[in-house]
Structure 1
Protein backbone atom coordinates (compact mmCIF):
# COMPACT_ATOMS: atom_id res chain seq x y z
CA UNK A 1 0.00 0.00 0.00
CA UNK A 2 1.34 3.43 -0.99
CA UNK A 3 1.07 6.17 1.64
CA UNK A 4 -0.30 9.34 0.04
CA UNK A 5 1.75 12.40 0.97
CA UNK A 6 0.24 14.82 -1.56
CA UNK A 7 -0.82 18.08 0.09
CA UNK A 8 -3.66 18.47 -2.42
CA UNK A 9 -5.21 15.12 -1.45
CA UNK A 10 -4.81 15.85 2.26
CA UNK A 11 -6.61 19.17 1.70
CA UNK A 12 -9.50 17.42 -0.07
CA UNK A 13 -9.79 14.90 2.76
CA UNK A 14 -9.80 17.73 5.31
CA UNK A 15 -12.56 19.44 3.33
CA UNK A 16 -14.75 16.34 3.73
CA UNK A 17 -14.12 16.23 7.49
CA UNK A 18 -14.91 19.94 7.84
CA UNK A 19 -18.27 19.39 6.12
CA UNK A 20 -19.17 16.41 8.31
CA UNK A 21 -22.66 16.38 9.85
CA UNK A 22 -22.26 14.50 13.12
CA UNK A 23 -25.88 13.45 13.66
CA UNK A 24 -26.34 12.23 10.09
CA UNK A 25 -23.05 10.32 10.26
CA UNK A 26 -24.31 8.64 13.42
CA UNK A 27 -27.58 7.70 11.67
CA UNK A 28 -25.69 5.89 8.93
CA UNK A 29 -23.19 4.35 11.36
CA UNK A 30 -25.97 2.74 13.41
CA UNK A 31 -28.74 2.26 10.83
CA UNK A 32 -30.68 -0.86 9.95
CA UNK A 33 -31.46 -1.35 6.27
CA UNK A 34 -35.21 -1.76 5.69
CA UNK A 35 -35.46 -2.08 1.91
CA UNK A 36 -35.50 -0.45 -1.51
CA UNK A 37 -38.64 1.67 -1.89
CA UNK A 38 -38.33 3.06 -5.44
CA UNK A 39 -35.74 1.80 -7.94
CA UNK A 40 -36.38 4.54 -10.50
CA UNK A 41 -35.90 7.35 -7.98
CA UNK A 42 -33.21 5.38 -6.14
CA UNK A 43 -34.93 5.61 -2.75
CA UNK A 44 -34.33 3.19 0.13
CA UNK A 45 -35.70 3.06 3.66
CA UNK A 46 -33.48 2.77 6.73
CA UNK A 47 -34.16 2.80 10.45
CA UNK A 48 -31.98 4.87 12.74
CA UNK A 49 -32.83 4.44 16.40
CA UNK A 50 -36.60 4.95 16.69
CA UNK A 51 -36.82 6.91 13.43
CA UNK A 52 -37.53 5.77 9.88
CA UNK A 53 -35.85 7.57 7.00
CA UNK A 54 -36.15 7.63 3.23
CA UNK A 55 -32.71 7.90 1.66
CA UNK A 56 -31.68 8.97 -1.83
CA UNK A 57 -29.12 6.20 -2.26
CA UNK A 58 -27.95 7.62 -5.59
CA UNK A 59 -26.83 10.79 -3.80
CA UNK A 60 -25.34 8.85 -0.89
CA UNK A 61 -23.43 6.54 -3.26
CA UNK A 62 -22.04 9.54 -5.11
CA UNK A 63 -20.58 11.02 -1.93
CA UNK A 64 -19.40 7.64 -0.62
CA UNK A 65 -17.51 6.76 -3.81
CA UNK A 66 -15.93 10.22 -3.88
CA UNK A 67 -14.69 9.67 -0.32
CA UNK A 68 -13.40 6.21 -1.25
CA UNK A 69 -11.50 7.82 -4.09
CA UNK A 70 -9.77 10.08 -1.59
CA UNK A 71 -9.23 7.32 0.99
CA UNK A 72 -7.77 4.83 -1.51
CA UNK A 73 -5.94 7.44 -3.60
CA UNK A 74 -2.97 5.78 -5.30
CA UNK A 75 -4.03 2.34 -4.04
CA UNK A 76 -6.99 1.39 -6.21
CA UNK A 77 -7.67 -2.10 -7.42
CA UNK A 78 -8.36 -2.40 -11.11
CA UNK A 79 -10.90 -3.73 -13.58
CA UNK A 80 -8.85 -5.03 -16.51
CA UNK A 81 -10.15 -5.26 -20.06
CA UNK A 82 -9.10 -8.20 -22.20
CA UNK A 83 -9.05 -7.42 -25.05
CA UNK A 84 -8.27 -3.75 -24.52
CA UNK A 85 -10.95 -1.25 -25.59
CA UNK A 86 -10.49 1.45 -28.21
CA UNK A 87 -10.68 4.91 -26.66
CA UNK A 88 -11.74 6.36 -30.00
CA UNK A 89 -14.65 3.92 -30.30
CA UNK A 90 -15.81 4.48 -26.71
CA UNK A 91 -15.57 8.26 -27.00
CA UNK A 92 -17.44 8.17 -30.31
CA UNK A 93 -20.30 6.28 -28.66
CA UNK A 94 -20.38 8.88 -25.88
CA UNK A 95 -20.31 11.72 -28.40
CA UNK A 96 -23.17 10.20 -30.39
CA UNK A 97 -25.24 10.03 -27.21
CA UNK A 98 -24.45 13.64 -26.32
CA UNK A 99 -25.22 14.73 -29.89
CA UNK A 100 -28.69 13.24 -29.58
CA UNK A 101 -29.29 15.19 -26.37
CA UNK A 102 -27.73 18.52 -27.40
CA UNK A 103 -29.61 21.53 -28.74
CA UNK A 104 -28.73 22.05 -32.39
CA UNK A 105 -27.50 25.62 -31.91
CA UNK A 106 -25.18 24.55 -29.09
CA UNK A 107 -23.83 21.48 -30.87
CA UNK A 108 -20.00 21.40 -30.81
CA UNK A 109 -17.84 19.63 -33.36
CA UNK A 110 -18.16 16.20 -31.75
CA UNK A 111 -15.52 14.60 -33.96
CA UNK A 112 -13.03 17.17 -32.72
CA UNK A 113 -14.19 16.62 -29.13
CA UNK A 114 -13.43 12.90 -29.50
CA UNK A 115 -9.95 13.68 -30.84
CA UNK A 116 -9.22 16.23 -28.09
CA UNK A 117 -10.38 14.01 -25.21
CA UNK A 118 -8.49 11.02 -26.59
CA UNK A 119 -5.30 13.07 -26.79
CA UNK A 120 -5.82 14.42 -23.27
CA UNK A 121 -6.20 10.93 -21.82
CA UNK A 122 -3.16 9.60 -23.70
CA UNK A 123 -1.00 12.55 -22.66
CA UNK A 124 -2.10 12.09 -19.02
CA UNK A 125 -1.71 8.31 -18.99
CA UNK A 126 1.22 8.18 -16.54
CA UNK A 127 -0.65 10.19 -13.91
CA UNK A 128 -3.92 8.30 -14.49
CA UNK A 129 -2.19 4.95 -14.07
CA UNK A 130 -0.16 5.95 -11.00
CA UNK A 131 -2.94 7.59 -9.00
CA UNK A 132 -6.17 6.05 -10.32
CA UNK A 133 -5.30 2.66 -11.87
CA UNK A 134 -6.81 3.94 -15.12
CA UNK A 135 -4.41 2.59 -17.72
CA UNK A 136 -4.31 3.93 -21.25
CA UNK A 137 -1.83 2.74 -23.86
CA UNK A 138 0.20 5.06 -26.03
CA UNK A 139 -1.81 3.71 -28.97
CA UNK A 140 -5.09 4.87 -27.40
CA UNK A 141 -6.45 1.68 -25.84
CA UNK A 142 -8.19 1.49 -22.46
CA UNK A 143 -6.48 -1.27 -20.49
CA UNK A 144 -8.02 -0.88 -17.03
CA UNK A 145 -10.37 1.11 -14.80
CA UNK A 146 -10.18 1.74 -11.05
CA UNK A 147 -12.08 -0.66 -8.79
CA UNK A 148 -13.67 1.20 -5.86
CA UNK A 149 -15.77 -1.54 -4.27
CA UNK A 150 -15.26 -5.30 -4.24
CA UNK A 151 -18.37 -7.24 -5.16
CA UNK A 152 -19.91 -4.39 -7.17
CA UNK A 153 -19.36 -3.70 -10.86
CA UNK A 154 -20.53 -0.31 -12.15
CA UNK A 155 -22.58 -0.25 -15.33
CA UNK A 156 -20.16 -0.38 -18.26
CA UNK A 157 -22.94 1.14 -20.38
CA UNK A 158 -21.97 4.41 -18.63
CA UNK A 159 -18.30 4.07 -19.62
CA UNK A 160 -18.45 6.09 -22.89
CA UNK A 161 -20.08 9.11 -21.18
CA UNK A 162 -17.67 8.88 -18.25
CA UNK A 163 -14.62 8.96 -20.52
CA UNK A 164 -16.04 11.76 -22.67
CA UNK A 165 -16.75 13.92 -19.63
CA UNK A 166 -13.14 13.57 -18.46
CA UNK A 167 -12.15 16.01 -21.20
CA UNK A 168 -14.18 19.14 -20.34
CA UNK A 169 -15.13 18.32 -16.73
CA UNK A 170 -11.66 17.71 -15.27
CA UNK A 171 -9.45 20.66 -14.29
CA UNK A 172 -6.34 19.15 -15.86
CA UNK A 173 -4.03 22.15 -15.25
CA UNK A 174 -4.47 22.40 -11.44
CA UNK A 175 -3.40 19.50 -9.23
CA UNK A 176 -5.99 19.77 -6.46
CA UNK A 177 -8.71 20.75 -8.90
CA UNK A 178 -7.77 17.85 -11.16
CA UNK A 179 -7.99 15.27 -8.38
CA UNK A 180 -11.25 16.72 -7.07
CA UNK A 181 -13.01 16.87 -10.44
CA UNK A 182 -11.69 13.50 -11.63
CA UNK A 183 -12.87 11.76 -8.45
CA UNK A 184 -16.28 13.43 -8.71
CA UNK A 185 -16.67 12.09 -12.24
CA UNK A 186 -15.47 8.65 -11.15
CA UNK A 187 -17.99 8.67 -8.28
CA UNK A 188 -20.81 9.55 -10.69
CA UNK A 189 -19.77 6.66 -12.92
CA UNK A 190 -20.01 4.29 -9.95
CA UNK A 191 -23.50 5.40 -8.85
CA UNK A 192 -26.00 2.60 -9.59
CA UNK A 193 -27.82 3.22 -12.84
CA UNK A 194 -31.59 3.66 -13.13
CA UNK A 195 -33.10 0.51 -14.64
CA UNK A 196 -36.32 0.49 -16.67
CA UNK A 197 -39.40 -0.34 -14.58
CA UNK A 198 -40.49 -3.99 -14.56
CA UNK A 199 -43.21 -4.72 -17.14
CA UNK A 200 -46.77 -4.61 -15.82
CA UNK A 201 -50.04 -6.12 -16.96
CA UNK A 202 -51.88 -4.18 -19.66
CA UNK A 203 -55.19 -2.42 -18.85
CA UNK A 204 -57.11 -5.10 -20.75
CA UNK A 205 -55.78 -7.74 -18.39
CA UNK A 206 -53.13 -9.29 -20.63
CA UNK A 207 -50.11 -10.56 -18.71
CA UNK A 208 -46.97 -8.36 -18.70
CA UNK A 209 -44.32 -8.90 -21.34
CA UNK A 210 -41.24 -10.80 -20.26
CA UNK A 211 -38.37 -8.62 -19.08
CA UNK A 212 -35.06 -8.86 -20.90
CA UNK A 213 -32.86 -11.49 -19.15
CA UNK A 214 -29.92 -9.04 -18.90
CA UNK A 215 -32.13 -6.50 -17.12
CA UNK A 216 -33.48 -9.17 -14.75
CA UNK A 217 -29.91 -10.21 -13.89
CA UNK A 218 -28.72 -6.65 -13.40
CA UNK A 219 -31.74 -5.80 -11.23
CA UNK A 220 -30.92 -8.78 -9.01
CA UNK A 221 -27.23 -7.79 -8.86
CA UNK A 222 -28.00 -4.18 -7.95
CA UNK A 223 -30.57 -5.13 -5.30
CA UNK A 224 -28.06 -7.45 -3.66
CA UNK A 225 -25.20 -4.94 -3.88
CA UNK A 226 -27.26 -2.07 -2.44
CA UNK A 227 -28.46 -4.08 0.57
CA UNK A 228 -25.47 -6.30 1.31
CA UNK A 229 -22.47 -4.27 0.09
CA UNK A 230 -23.22 -0.55 -0.19
CA UNK A 231 -25.30 0.15 2.91
CA UNK A 232 -22.98 -1.92 5.14
CA UNK A 233 -20.11 0.12 3.67
CA UNK A 234 -21.96 3.35 4.49
CA UNK A 235 -22.32 2.04 8.04
CA UNK A 236 -18.61 1.54 8.51
CA UNK A 237 -16.96 4.23 6.37
CA UNK A 238 -19.29 7.05 5.28
CA UNK A 239 -18.64 10.56 6.54
CA UNK A 240 -22.10 12.06 6.04
CA UNK A 241 -21.57 15.65 4.91
CA UNK A 242 -24.01 18.52 5.35
CA UNK A 243 -24.88 18.35 1.64
CA UNK A 244 -26.43 14.92 2.16
CA UNK A 245 -29.14 16.33 4.44
CA UNK A 246 -31.30 17.04 1.39
CA UNK A 247 -31.09 13.35 0.44
CA UNK A 248 -32.43 12.03 3.77
CA UNK A 249 -36.02 12.54 4.95
CA UNK A 250 -37.43 11.45 8.28
CA UNK A 251 -40.82 9.87 7.56
CA UNK A 252 -41.76 8.35 10.90
CA UNK A 253 -40.89 8.44 14.57
CA UNK A 254 -41.47 4.89 15.72
CA UNK A 255 -41.74 5.95 19.36
CA UNK A 256 -44.73 8.09 18.41
CA UNK A 257 -46.24 5.21 16.44
CA UNK A 258 -45.88 2.89 19.42
CA UNK A 259 -47.82 5.40 21.55
CA UNK A 260 -50.59 5.45 18.93
CA UNK A 261 -50.85 1.65 19.02
CA UNK A 262 -50.88 1.67 22.83
CA UNK A 263 -53.97 3.88 22.77
CA UNK A 264 -55.80 1.63 20.31
Structure 2
Protein backbone atom coordinates (compact mmCIF):
# COMPACT_ATOMS: atom_id res chain seq x y z
CA UNK A 1 0.00 0.00 0.00
CA UNK A 2 1.55 3.33 -1.04
CA UNK A 3 2.80 5.55 1.73
CA UNK A 4 4.87 8.72 2.08
CA UNK A 5 7.35 7.08 4.44
CA UNK A 6 10.95 7.01 3.21
CA UNK A 7 11.88 3.70 1.57
CA UNK A 8 14.25 2.75 4.39
CA UNK A 9 11.30 2.64 6.78
CA UNK A 10 9.04 0.76 4.41
CA UNK A 11 10.84 -2.56 4.57
CA UNK A 12 12.96 -2.13 7.68
CA UNK A 13 16.17 -1.87 5.69
CA UNK A 14 19.15 -2.72 7.84
CA UNK A 15 21.37 0.35 8.12
CA UNK A 16 22.91 -0.46 11.48
CA UNK A 17 26.28 -1.13 9.85
CA UNK A 18 28.19 1.50 7.83
CA UNK A 19 28.65 0.72 4.16
CA UNK A 20 32.27 0.55 3.01
CA UNK A 21 33.81 -0.22 -0.37
CA UNK A 22 37.18 -1.95 -0.35
CA UNK A 23 39.86 0.30 -1.82
CA UNK A 24 42.54 -2.37 -2.25
CA UNK A 25 44.16 -2.52 -5.69
CA UNK A 26 44.50 -6.30 -5.41
CA UNK A 27 42.12 -9.02 -4.25
CA UNK A 28 42.27 -12.80 -4.41
CA UNK A 29 38.64 -13.40 -3.44
CA UNK A 30 37.30 -12.95 -6.98
CA UNK A 31 38.73 -13.42 -10.45
CA UNK A 32 39.95 -11.07 -13.17
CA UNK A 33 36.52 -10.71 -14.81
CA UNK A 34 34.98 -9.32 -11.62
CA UNK A 35 38.10 -7.19 -11.11
CA UNK A 36 37.59 -5.59 -14.52
CA UNK A 37 33.91 -4.93 -13.80
CA UNK A 38 34.67 -3.34 -10.42
CA UNK A 39 37.42 -1.27 -12.03
CA UNK A 40 34.95 0.11 -14.56
CA UNK A 41 32.23 0.81 -12.01
CA UNK A 42 34.31 2.25 -9.17
CA UNK A 43 38.10 2.16 -9.28
CA UNK A 44 38.85 3.57 -12.74
CA UNK A 45 37.68 7.05 -11.70
CA UNK A 46 40.46 7.06 -9.09
CA UNK A 47 43.08 5.84 -11.54
CA UNK A 48 43.14 2.34 -10.01
CA UNK A 49 43.11 -0.87 -12.04
CA UNK A 50 42.04 -3.68 -9.75
CA UNK A 51 43.85 -7.00 -10.14
CA UNK A 52 42.69 -10.35 -8.83
CA UNK A 53 43.15 -14.11 -8.89
CA UNK A 54 43.28 -16.21 -12.03
CA UNK A 55 39.92 -17.24 -13.47
CA UNK A 56 38.50 -20.26 -11.65
CA UNK A 57 35.68 -22.05 -13.50
CA UNK A 58 32.86 -23.73 -11.63
CA UNK A 59 33.53 -27.45 -11.11
CA UNK A 60 31.19 -29.63 -13.17
CA UNK A 61 30.81 -32.15 -10.35
CA UNK A 62 29.30 -29.51 -8.04
CA UNK A 63 26.62 -28.37 -10.51
CA UNK A 64 23.37 -30.13 -11.41
CA UNK A 65 21.61 -27.87 -13.93
CA UNK A 66 18.26 -29.46 -14.76
CA UNK A 67 17.03 -27.02 -17.42
CA UNK A 68 18.53 -25.18 -20.42
CA UNK A 69 18.15 -21.88 -18.57
CA UNK A 70 20.06 -23.12 -15.53
CA UNK A 71 22.69 -24.69 -17.79
CA UNK A 72 23.21 -21.32 -19.48
CA UNK A 73 23.91 -19.75 -16.09
CA UNK A 74 26.33 -22.34 -14.78
CA UNK A 75 27.96 -23.76 -17.90
CA UNK A 76 29.15 -20.46 -19.34
CA UNK A 77 32.70 -19.33 -18.71
CA UNK A 78 31.42 -16.08 -17.20
CA UNK A 79 31.99 -15.41 -13.51
CA UNK A 80 29.27 -12.72 -13.66
CA UNK A 81 25.78 -13.58 -14.97
CA UNK A 82 22.68 -11.38 -15.05
CA UNK A 83 19.18 -12.88 -14.96
CA UNK A 84 16.49 -10.36 -15.85
CA UNK A 85 12.72 -10.76 -15.92
CA UNK A 86 9.83 -8.60 -17.14
CA UNK A 87 7.43 -7.92 -14.26
CA UNK A 88 6.50 -4.63 -12.62
CA UNK A 89 4.52 -5.05 -9.40
CA UNK A 90 6.69 -6.21 -6.50
CA UNK A 91 8.21 -3.99 -3.86
CA UNK A 92 9.59 -5.37 -0.59
CA UNK A 93 9.14 -9.11 -1.20
CA UNK A 94 9.47 -10.68 -4.62
CA UNK A 95 8.28 -14.29 -5.12
CA UNK A 96 9.61 -14.33 -8.69
CA UNK A 97 13.16 -13.70 -7.50
CA UNK A 98 12.68 -16.17 -4.65
CA UNK A 99 11.65 -18.83 -7.20
CA UNK A 100 14.58 -18.04 -9.51
CA UNK A 101 17.10 -18.09 -6.68
CA UNK A 102 15.60 -21.27 -5.28
CA UNK A 103 16.24 -22.95 -8.64
CA UNK A 104 19.80 -21.58 -8.72
CA UNK A 105 20.51 -22.83 -5.21
CA UNK A 106 19.03 -26.21 -6.10
CA UNK A 107 21.48 -26.57 -8.98
CA UNK A 108 24.52 -26.10 -6.73
CA UNK A 109 25.61 -29.00 -4.55
CA UNK A 110 26.29 -27.67 -1.05
CA UNK A 111 27.88 -29.46 1.90
CA UNK A 112 25.28 -30.08 4.61
CA UNK A 113 28.05 -30.88 7.12
CA UNK A 114 29.27 -27.28 7.11
CA UNK A 115 27.90 -24.82 9.65
CA UNK A 116 27.03 -21.51 8.05
CA UNK A 117 27.17 -18.16 9.81
CA UNK A 118 24.98 -15.12 9.02
CA UNK A 119 27.65 -13.04 7.27
CA UNK A 120 28.25 -15.73 4.67
CA UNK A 121 31.36 -17.19 6.23
CA UNK A 122 31.67 -20.85 7.10
CA UNK A 123 32.70 -22.49 10.36
CA UNK A 124 35.02 -25.48 10.12
CA UNK A 125 35.63 -25.19 6.37
CA UNK A 126 38.72 -24.90 4.21
CA UNK A 127 36.80 -23.41 1.28
CA UNK A 128 38.65 -20.10 1.40
CA UNK A 129 41.99 -21.88 1.12
CA UNK A 130 40.64 -24.08 -1.68
CA UNK A 131 39.32 -21.10 -3.62
CA UNK A 132 42.75 -19.48 -3.62
CA UNK A 133 44.04 -22.32 -5.79
CA UNK A 134 44.08 -21.77 -9.54
CA UNK A 135 41.97 -24.88 -10.18
CA UNK A 136 38.61 -25.88 -8.70
CA UNK A 137 38.14 -29.09 -10.66
CA UNK A 138 38.27 -31.28 -7.54
CA UNK A 139 35.44 -29.44 -5.75
CA UNK A 140 32.39 -31.67 -5.25
CA UNK A 141 30.39 -29.04 -3.35
CA UNK A 142 30.24 -25.25 -3.19
CA UNK A 143 29.16 -22.54 -0.76
CA UNK A 144 26.06 -20.64 -1.98
CA UNK A 145 24.80 -17.36 -0.53
CA UNK A 146 22.22 -14.70 -1.34
CA UNK A 147 22.54 -10.95 -0.83
CA UNK A 148 19.52 -8.62 -0.88
CA UNK A 149 19.03 -4.98 0.15
CA UNK A 150 15.70 -5.77 1.82
CA UNK A 151 15.02 -7.38 5.20
CA UNK A 152 11.59 -8.58 4.07
CA UNK A 153 13.05 -10.37 1.05
CA UNK A 154 15.77 -11.85 3.24
CA UNK A 155 13.07 -13.41 5.41
CA UNK A 156 11.27 -14.85 2.38
CA UNK A 157 14.51 -16.31 1.05
CA UNK A 158 15.46 -17.84 4.38
CA UNK A 159 12.09 -19.59 4.49
CA UNK A 160 12.36 -20.93 0.94
CA UNK A 161 16.04 -21.92 0.74
CA UNK A 162 17.91 -24.89 2.25
CA UNK A 163 19.65 -24.42 5.59
CA UNK A 164 23.02 -24.66 3.83
CA UNK A 165 22.30 -21.43 1.93
CA UNK A 166 22.87 -18.13 3.72
CA UNK A 167 20.63 -15.16 2.84
CA UNK A 168 21.28 -11.76 4.35
CA UNK A 169 21.17 -8.04 3.71
CA UNK A 170 24.01 -6.19 2.02
CA UNK A 171 25.02 -4.49 5.27
CA UNK A 172 25.25 -7.77 7.17
CA UNK A 173 27.18 -9.47 4.35
CA UNK A 174 30.11 -7.04 4.49
CA UNK A 175 33.24 -9.14 5.00
CA UNK A 176 31.41 -12.35 4.13
CA UNK A 177 32.06 -14.42 1.05
CA UNK A 178 30.82 -17.55 -0.71
CA UNK A 179 31.83 -19.58 -3.75
CA UNK A 180 28.61 -18.56 -5.54
CA UNK A 181 26.57 -15.47 -4.69
CA UNK A 182 23.11 -14.58 -5.99
CA UNK A 183 22.09 -10.93 -5.68
CA UNK A 184 18.33 -10.37 -5.30
CA UNK A 185 17.41 -6.80 -6.29
CA UNK A 186 13.80 -7.46 -5.14
CA UNK A 187 12.04 -4.31 -6.41
CA UNK A 188 10.21 -4.60 -9.74
CA UNK A 189 7.71 -1.74 -9.34
CA UNK A 190 9.37 1.14 -11.24
CA UNK A 191 7.61 3.87 -9.26
CA UNK A 192 8.70 2.31 -5.99
CA UNK A 193 12.21 1.93 -7.42
CA UNK A 194 12.27 5.67 -8.13
CA UNK A 195 11.17 6.41 -4.57
CA UNK A 196 13.90 4.05 -3.33
CA UNK A 197 16.55 5.43 -5.68
CA UNK A 198 18.99 6.63 -3.03
CA UNK A 199 18.70 3.29 -1.23
CA UNK A 200 18.25 0.65 -3.94
CA UNK A 201 20.59 2.40 -6.38
CA UNK A 202 23.30 3.24 -3.84
CA UNK A 203 26.57 2.28 -5.60
CA UNK A 204 28.19 1.24 -2.32
CA UNK A 205 25.50 -1.34 -1.59
CA UNK A 206 25.64 -2.84 -5.06
CA UNK A 207 29.44 -2.98 -5.16
CA UNK A 208 29.53 -4.75 -1.79
CA UNK A 209 26.83 -7.18 -2.95
CA UNK A 210 28.44 -8.20 -6.24
CA UNK A 211 31.96 -8.59 -4.83
CA UNK A 212 31.18 -11.32 -2.25
CA UNK A 213 31.71 -14.31 -4.57
CA UNK A 214 34.88 -16.31 -5.10
CA UNK A 215 33.76 -18.10 -8.27
CA UNK A 216 30.50 -16.71 -9.67
CA UNK A 217 28.11 -13.80 -9.06
CA UNK A 218 24.53 -14.14 -10.34
CA UNK A 219 22.52 -10.91 -10.37
CA UNK A 220 18.72 -11.28 -10.47
CA UNK A 221 16.70 -8.15 -11.24
CA UNK A 222 13.66 -6.83 -13.06
CA UNK A 223 14.11 -4.93 -16.30
CA UNK A 224 11.97 -2.24 -14.64
CA UNK A 225 15.01 -1.19 -12.63
CA UNK A 226 16.60 0.16 -15.78
CA UNK A 227 13.73 2.62 -16.26
CA UNK A 228 15.13 4.86 -13.55
CA UNK A 229 18.23 5.32 -15.73
CA UNK A 230 18.41 8.07 -18.39
CA UNK A 231 16.69 6.95 -21.58
CA UNK A 232 19.51 8.44 -23.70
CA UNK A 233 22.04 5.60 -24.03
CA UNK A 234 24.86 8.14 -24.36
CA UNK A 235 24.18 9.18 -20.76
CA UNK A 236 23.90 5.72 -19.19
CA UNK A 237 27.39 5.99 -17.72
CA UNK A 238 26.10 8.89 -15.62
CA UNK A 239 22.96 7.04 -14.58
CA UNK A 240 21.98 4.74 -11.71
CA UNK A 241 24.44 2.00 -10.93
CA UNK A 242 22.15 -0.93 -11.89
CA UNK A 243 22.03 0.39 -15.47
CA UNK A 244 25.79 0.91 -15.42
CA UNK A 245 26.26 -2.63 -14.16
CA UNK A 246 24.20 -4.11 -16.99
CA UNK A 247 25.84 -2.14 -19.79
CA UNK A 248 29.37 -2.58 -18.45
CA UNK A 249 28.91 -6.33 -17.94
CA UNK A 250 27.08 -7.33 -21.13
CA UNK A 251 27.14 -4.30 -23.44
CA UNK A 252 24.57 -1.79 -24.65
CA UNK A 253 23.09 -3.97 -27.42
CA UNK A 254 23.23 -7.30 -25.60
CA UNK A 255 21.24 -10.33 -26.71
CA UNK A 256 20.47 -12.95 -24.05
CA UNK A 257 22.16 -16.34 -24.20
CA UNK A 258 18.84 -17.86 -23.10
CA UNK A 259 15.31 -16.50 -23.20
CA UNK A 260 12.08 -18.11 -22.02
CA UNK A 261 9.52 -18.05 -19.21
CA UNK A 262 9.93 -18.54 -15.49
CA UNK A 263 8.17 -21.90 -15.80
CA UNK A 264 10.62 -22.96 -18.49
CA UNK A 265 13.62 -21.76 -16.51
CA UNK A 266 12.77 -24.01 -13.57
CA UNK A 267 10.90 -26.62 -15.66
CA UNK A 268 7.72 -26.24 -13.62
CA UNK A 269 4.97 -24.96 -15.92
CA UNK A 270 2.43 -24.70 -13.09
CA UNK A 271 4.58 -22.53 -10.80
CA UNK A 272 3.19 -19.13 -9.76
CA UNK A 273 4.12 -16.41 -12.28
CA UNK A 274 5.10 -19.16 -14.75
CA UNK A 275 4.58 -16.95 -17.83
CA UNK A 276 6.86 -14.11 -16.69
CA UNK A 277 9.59 -13.62 -19.34
CA UNK A 278 13.13 -14.41 -18.15
CA UNK A 279 16.48 -13.81 -19.88
CA UNK A 280 20.03 -14.91 -19.02
CA UNK A 281 23.03 -12.73 -19.88
CA UNK A 282 26.50 -14.13 -19.12
CA UNK A 283 29.00 -11.30 -18.85
CA UNK A 284 30.99 -10.41 -21.95
CA UNK A 285 33.33 -8.10 -20.09
CA UNK A 286 36.36 -10.21 -20.97
CA UNK A 287 35.62 -9.54 -24.65
CA UNK A 288 35.86 -5.76 -24.56
CA UNK A 289 38.21 -3.15 -23.24
CA UNK A 290 37.87 -1.44 -19.88
CA UNK A 291 38.18 1.94 -21.51
TM-score w.r.t. length of structure 2: 0.27
Larger Rg: 1
- Please identify which structure carries the higher helix content: 1
> Which one scores higher on RCO, CA 8 angstroms, separation ≥ 6?
1
TM-score w.r.t. length of structure 1: 0.29
